């Protein structure tokens, strides 16, 4: 067992330095020049050493290649106030998510550290479970084990929508399983409820100050059912702050690659997210100030999807190849900058500003600058498509190129209801129509 650098150095290395608090009226408090470790205070000394715990197939502090060994390491380091879990080279098979902890860095050895999701199994329920129950009974329990992460899905009897919850199996008697937490929703036979061993590979909820580095994550898409990015992915975060995800290869998930919901100041840098059924990067609802820089997003449904209310984000220097849509902005996504990216071979659209439900919901004041957008869509493909009542966006100095026949392809299309879209200094070649402005149509 070894020790590593302290919490403040770790946060600064991840781009998560603590900010000062300004006082109304312009005055600021005196700077902290000699910090002490004080109960409940996030400002600490810059400790020169902090715990590192190794996990691996052999010659490690904790030996094993399952989620249980990895989770034990995370929990141990978190209990001692944070530090690093160093996952040594090896292939680790997961039957449940790794639940991350605040102040803990997860460090791998790049392609030599592979975390693989086990094949999923599924079963309908055999007995109704009410919202207050903490157990389920499976009609086909074969393949389920105590410790498995599961997902329950049912049709809601009141509104007809789908209810989804994630739980862990913690005890068993035949086909009856106890859950780690009560359901808090009804899961009935009449709702055609199913239970499947589906979960994120890495999961974080209501935590902060975490780094994930140099890991290879394999979602084993061919042997798993689909679970969309509002619930899972190779990495799934909910209500988190100040995450750094760097040098991670996330691939082959039957859902999203990297998804974060209502998470602020998330940085994703030098990662690859590829071959997912869903989205490559999914800055999710309400997420503020995401930074996505120098990533490769390849062969996903959508490469980079700005979900609802994502604001003040930066997407810079990314390579997006062979996604159905390269970049998508929509519902109240405002004041984001998409700059210096390469968006190549999108199967439908290079960059899409979604139409949404009217002006109050549209993606305003976004900037699309200095991007290279090549070979977008099929015969009637569009490189940049601005739809709905989108306003006050800038499309400036982009290089848009079509290397195939022009056919009916369009460089930039402005929808009939768009307003104040600034389009200038773009270089557009090889398309049938450089700019189509539907606002000018009779």
Please report the pLDDT score of residue 16 as a whole number.
Answer: 45
d(CA 212, CA 234): 12
Radius of gyration, alpha carbons of the chain: 24
d(CA 107, CA 180): 28
| Cα dihedral value 294, 319, 292, 383, nearest 10 | 150
Average pLDDT, the chain: 94
Domain CATH for 164: 2.40.30
Query: Is 396 contained in some domain?
Result: yes
pLDDT tens digits along 140-194: 999 999 999 999 999 998 888 999 999 999 999 999 999 999 999 999 999 999 9
pTM assigned to the model? 0.92
Note whether 175 and 241 are same-domain residues. Answer: no
Query: Is 36 contained in some domain?
Result: no
Note whether 136 and 229 are same-domain residues. Answer: no
Note whether 108 and 227 are same-domain residues. Answer: yes
Higher pLDDT, 39 or 218: 218
Note whether 183 and 70 are same-domain residues. Answer: no
Whole-angstrom CA distances from 238 to 72, 107, 252 are: 22, 21, 21
Note whether 422 and 369 are same-domain residues. Answer: yes
How large is the average pLDDT for residues 86-111?
A: 98
Note whether 60 and 106 are same-domain residues. Answer: yes
Note whether 244 and 112 are same-domain residues. Answer: yes
Query: Is 157 contained in some domain?
Result: yes
What range does the domain containing 181 cover? Answer: 122-196
pLDDT tens digits along 317-340: 999 999 999 999 999 999 999 999
Domain CATH for 83: 2.160.20.10
387 and 352 in contact (C-beta within 8 Å)? Answer: yes
| Closest residue by Cα to residue 50 from 98, 86, 90, 93 | 86
Structure tokens at 70: 């990895």
Share of the chain above pLDDT 70, in %: 94
Note whether 113 and 258 are same-domain residues. Answer: yes
Sequence-ordered strand ranges (E) for 197-295: 202-205, 208-213, 216-218, 235-238, 241-246, 249-251, 258-261, 264-269, 272-274, 279-283, 291-293
d(CA 253, CA 225): 9
Query: Is 227 contained in some domain?
Result: yes
Query: Is 316 contained in some domain?
Result: no
88 and 94 in contact (C-beta within 8 Å)? Answer: no
pLDDT at 4 over 50: no
Structure tokens at 372: 């290279």
Note whether 175 and 278 are same-domain residues. Answer: no
Note whether 342 and 438 are same-domain residues. Answer: yes
Counted domains in the chain: 3
How large is the average pLDDT for residues 3-29?
A: 53
Note whether 349 and 438 are same-domain residues. Answer: yes
Query: Is 28 contained in some domain?
Result: no
SS3 76: helix
Angle value at C-alpha 421, between 302 and 413, nearest 5 degrees: 55
- In this structure, are strands 50-56 and 62-63 parallel, antiparallel, or unpaired? parallel
Query: Is 338 contained in some domain?
Result: yes
pLDDT at 372 over 90: yes
């Amino acid at each position: 067992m070894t020790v590593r650098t302290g919490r403040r150095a770790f946060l600064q290395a991840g781009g998560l330095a603590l900010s000062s608090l300004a006082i109304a009226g312009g005055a600021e408090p005196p700077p902290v020049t000699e910090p002490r470790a004080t109960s409940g205070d996030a400002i600490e000394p810059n400790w020169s050493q902090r715990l590192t715990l190794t996990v691996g197939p052999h010659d490690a502090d904790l030996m094993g290649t399952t989620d249980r060994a990895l989770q034990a390491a995370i929990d141990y380091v978190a209990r001692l106030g944070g530090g690093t879990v160093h996952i040594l080279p090896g292939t680790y098979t997961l039957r449940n998510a790794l639940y991350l902890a605040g102040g803990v860095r997860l460090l791998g050895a790049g392609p030599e550290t592979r975390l693989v999701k086990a094949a999923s199994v599924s079963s309908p329920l055999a007995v109704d479970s009410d919202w207050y129950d903490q157990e389920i009974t499976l009609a086909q329990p074969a393949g389920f084990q105590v410790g498995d992460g599961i997902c329950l899905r049912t049709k809601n009897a009141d509104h007809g929508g789908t209810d989804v919850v994630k739980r862990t199996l913690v005890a068993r008697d035949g086909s009856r399983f106890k859950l780690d937490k009560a359901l808090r929703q009804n899961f009935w036979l009449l709702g055609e409820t199913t239970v499947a061993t589906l979960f994120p590979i890495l999961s974080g909820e209501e935590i902060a100050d975490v780094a994930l580095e140099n890991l290879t994550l394999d979602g084993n898409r061919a042997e798993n059912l689909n679970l969309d990015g509002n619930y899972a992915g190779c990495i799934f975060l909910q209500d988190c702050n100040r995450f750094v995800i760097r040098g991670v290869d996330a691939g082959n998930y039957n859902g999203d690659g990297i998804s974060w919901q209502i998470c602020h100041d998330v940085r994703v840098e030098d990662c690859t997210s590829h071959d997912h059924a869903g989205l490559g990067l999914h800055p999710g609802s309400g997420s503020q100030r995401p930074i996505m820089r120098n990533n490769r997003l390849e062969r996903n449904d959508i490469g980079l999807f700005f979900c609802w209310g994502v604001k003040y984000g930066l997407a810079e220097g990314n390579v997006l190849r062979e996604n159905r849509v390269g970049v998508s902005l929509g519902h109240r996504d405002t004041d984001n900058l998409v700059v210096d990216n390469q968006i190549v071979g999108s199967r439908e659209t290079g960059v899409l500003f979604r139409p949404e439900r009217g002006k109050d919901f549209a993606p305003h004041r976004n900037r699309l600058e200095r991007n290279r957008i090549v070979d977008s869509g099929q015969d009637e493909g569009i490189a940049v498509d601005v739809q709905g009542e989108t306003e006050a966006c800038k499309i400036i100095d982009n290089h848009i190129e079509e290397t195939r026949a022009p056919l009916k392809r369009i460089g930039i299309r402005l929808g009939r209801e768009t307003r104040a879209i600034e389009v200038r200094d773009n270089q557009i070649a090889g398309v049938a129509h450089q700019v189509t402005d539907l606002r000018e149509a009779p």
